Amino acid sequence: MSTDFNGKVIAITGAASGIAFATSKLLAGRGAIVAMADRNEKLLDTAVSELKSSGAIVTSTGKFIYCILSF
């Protein structure tokens, strides 16, 4: 099984916390482009800020959040 997610586009719901947040962080750290979605705006903001401070490049198109990480 490949652990290289370079350039893979992955959509994750519930991404602001728990398993989904950990998955977002892990995959982005392996080069994936992660589209993070959550119902809780505040929690999502916090999650994205944390990824940003770990080196993530965060882009958003319209009102959606994408996250490209180069750890």
Partner 1 sequence: MAIMTSNLVLDVRDAAAVESWIQATVKEHGKLDGAANLAGVIGPTIGITGIEDIPLSEFDFIIDVNLKGVFNCLRAEMKAMNEKIKGGEQKLGSIVNAASIAGMIGMAKNPAYAASKHAVIGLTRAAAKDCGGGGVRVNAIAP
Amino acid sitting at position 18: G
Based on CB atoms, which residue is closest to partner 1, 29 or 37?
37
From CA 16, how far away is CA 54, in angstroms rounded? 15
Shortest spacing between CB 71 and partner 1, in angstroms: 19
Contacts to partner 1 by CB under 8 A: 8-15, 18-20, 23, 32-33, 35, 37-41, 44, 61-66
Those residues whose C-beta lies under 8 Å from the C-beta of residue 24, and which sit 6 or more positions away, are 12, 15, 34, 36, 47, 51, 67
Shortest spacing between CB 21 and partner 1, in angstroms: 9
